[in-house]
Amino acid sequence: MNKTGVLTVVSGFSGSGKGTIMKELLKKYPEQYALSISATTRSPRPGEIDGREYFFRTDEQFEQLIAEDGLLEYARYCDHYYGTPKDYVKEQLAKGKDVILEIEIQGALKIKQKYPDTVLLFVTPPSFEALKDRLIGRGTETLEVICDRLCRACEESKGCEAYDYLIINDHLDDCVKQVHEILQNEHARMSRNDEFLNKFRVELEAYRKENNK
């Protein structure tokens, strides 16, 4: 099987638990996965460290990255840039690590267009009721914010039909196992195994010539 890492984008409803799944995946298989770190021009929040939560950059630095095609994708929200630096992702893939990006749908679709081998996973709670309960259960948001989030969720899921897999997060452990299986079996995709197949054919052809058929 091929040794290059698989590029994966994970998106999902806020409250779907996608962050927890990724955290567990990295904890369980630290040798296999690498999490991509986004660059942003917004200021660090208390506790955020440059190079851990984000690469914090100035507008000039970010625009320089754009100019030199150094980003896999980028977007501007609320007067700040957010983007995925290309170098780190490429390095990790070359090392054979499967790289996970946690970004929203529009960015994911841009990446899929440029790199069709990217695997897109969309994480959802098992039902609308469960989503509501989880957002309330977090206890970190006011009811108004939760209402806003739910109302925006429909809008936010636009385009998710183009994703490869729908991951229904009912039980965390099952979900982590499923994501791991999907990503590991992705290495067996025919499109990732040209080299193996070509070698095999060259050997068959040589044998045929040797036997004058």
The site for its own copies (CB under 8 A) is made up of 1, 122, 124, 127-128, 132, 147-148, 150-151, 153-154, 157, 160-168, 178, 181-182, 185, 188-190, 193-194, 196-197, 200-201, 203-205, 207-208, 211, 213
How far is Cα 104 from Cα 11, in angstroms, rounded to an integer? Answer: 6
Q: Residue 129 CB, nearest distance to its own copies (Å)?
A: 8
The enclosing H or E element of 104 equals none
Q: Which is nearer to its own copies, 63 or 181 (CB)?
A: 181
Q: Which is nearer to its own copies, 53 or 164 (CB)?
A: 164
Please give the C-alpha separations between residue 117 and each of 131, 151, 158, 181, in angstroms, as whole numbers.
30, 32, 21, 17
Q: Residue 147 CB, nearest distance to its own copies (Å)?
A: 6
Q: Residue 181 CB, nearest distance to its own copies (Å)?
A: 5
Q: Residue 93 CB, nearest distance to its own copies (Å)?
A: 19
How distant is the alpha carbon of residue 41 from its chain centre?
21
Q: Which is nearer to its own copies, 43 or 191 (CB)?
A: 191
Cβ within 8 Å of residue 184, ≥6 positions away: 32
Q: Residue 5 CB, nearest distance to its own copies (Å)?
A: 17
Q: Which is nearer to its own copies, 25 or 65 (CB)?
A: 25
Q: Which is nearer to its own copies, 62 or 98 (CB)?
A: 98
Radius of gyration of the chain measured on its C-alpha atoms: 20
Q: Which is nearer to its own copies, 65 or 130 (CB)?
A: 130
Instruction: List the 80-85 sheet strands across, edge first.
Output: 54-56, 38-40, 80-85, 71-77
How far is Cα 178 from Cα 119, in angstroms, rounded to an integer? Answer: 14
The enclosing H or E element of 86 equals helix 86-94
Token pair for 148: 């806003």
Q: Residue 188 CB, nearest distance to its own copies (Å)?
A: 5
